[in-house]
Amino acid sequence: MRFLITGAAGFLGAPLANSLISDGHSVVGLDDLSTGDPDRLSPEVHLVRGDINDRPKLWTLLQGVDCVYHLAARVIVPESVLYPREYNLVNVGGTVTLMEAMRDVGVKRVVFISSGSIYGNQKNQPMKETFRPQPRSPYAVSKLAAEFYIRTIGELWKIETVVLRVFNAYGPEQRLPPAHAPVIPYCIKQALDNGTIVIHGDGKQTRDYVYVDDVADAMVRASMTNDINRLIMNVGSGEETSVNEIAKIVMEISEQKPEIVHNQHHDSGPARMCADISLAHAKLGYQPKISLKEGLLKTMLQDKRFNRNRSS
């Protein structure tokens, strides 16, 4: 099969592309490289630098494509609070542009990578796909809006659509920006530097952390499985883990004792998040293989940034 992956050089896009290549498929990637790294990709991936809203470029790249994976997006939640218009332009507008180009060229299947953040605060855990979304940020709103556009347009234009709501993915080479760094790479870096791990509030807030290779497996299955048109499925580990637990495991596997500091709590997201993955298991045969401790160890050992820290 021939695939187009938008956001192909990103944290999730690259392992997906490499997995498809290793299975013998043809992969074209589109990425503006604002955050993506082309060095992550197999040389067999035909990567094109470009914008998701560039319709002529999309028309060219979609020629002969059997299925599209749509991952291109802006993804930093606090940034979306400052720049909601930009998030709408890329995450929503780019999705509509892609769907229009697919219609024009005649591509009939798309797998959209959404986010568990669309659920927001929920009284009950784990979160099922039937729960009413309660997005708490412009980023989450943009992902939810894109879901509605994809499924509505898909039904009107006879394009098969699959939506995967990915929870907190982690693994080697995850971006570590100076501000708003993801919990896992931040904790590992601080531990290896024997620095200070700052935890917001009491650290009891939970997330569903899922290793990047397990996410890639779910994405591959979503394009290869029949009779799943218009389905929305959660992709996570099915377990919730607190920030305090993450810090504890990181200290254990790094054999370091960084200082733990709790700062004043700020409203940074839901108190609890855990994915019900039973639908993905039933429909895709999806079953996470990497435990949290194993995944954290893989992340620490395989990420070149952390290895440099250890040897210095």
Token digits for 15? Answer: 């392992």
d(CA 95, CA 87): 11
Q: Is 139 noted as a catalytic residue in this protein? A: yes
pTM: 0.96
Token digits for 7? Answer: 């956001």
Residue 142 near residue 80 (C-beta atoms within 8 A): yes
- In the chain, the domains with their CATH numbers are 2-169+209-235 (3.40.50.720), 171-207+240-272+291-311 (3.90.25.10)
Residue 53 near residue 33 (C-beta atoms within 8 A): no
Q: What is the pLDDT tens value at each position of the chain, 312 positions in all?
A: 999 999 999 999 999 999 999 999 999 999 999 999 999 999 999 999 999 999 999 999 999 999 999 999 999 999 999 999 999 999 999 999 999 999 999 999 999 999 999 999 999 999 999 999 999 999 999 999 999 999 999 999 999 999 999 999 999 999 988 778 899 999 999 999 988 999 989 999 999 999 999 999 999 999 999 999 999 999 999 999 999 999 999 999 999 999 999 988 665 678 999 999 999 999 999 999 999 999 999 999 999 888 754 544
**How high is the pLDDT of residue 306?**
86
Close Cβ partners of 1 (under 8 Å, ≥ 6 residues apart): 25, 26, 66, 67, 223
The conformation of residue 306, written as its DSSP 8-state character, comes to H
**How high is the pLDDT of residue 178?**
79
The conformation of residue 205, written as its DSSP 8-state character, comes to -
**How high is the pLDDT of residue 75?**
95
Q: Which of 139, 149, 170, 286 is catalytic?
A: 139
Token digits for 96? Answer: 């509509």
Residue 113 pairs with which residues in a beta bridge? 164
- CA–chain centroid gap for 236, Å, is 10
Taking only the tens place, the pLDDT of each residue in 149-197 is 999 999 999 999 999 999 999 999 999 887 788 999 999 999 999 889 9
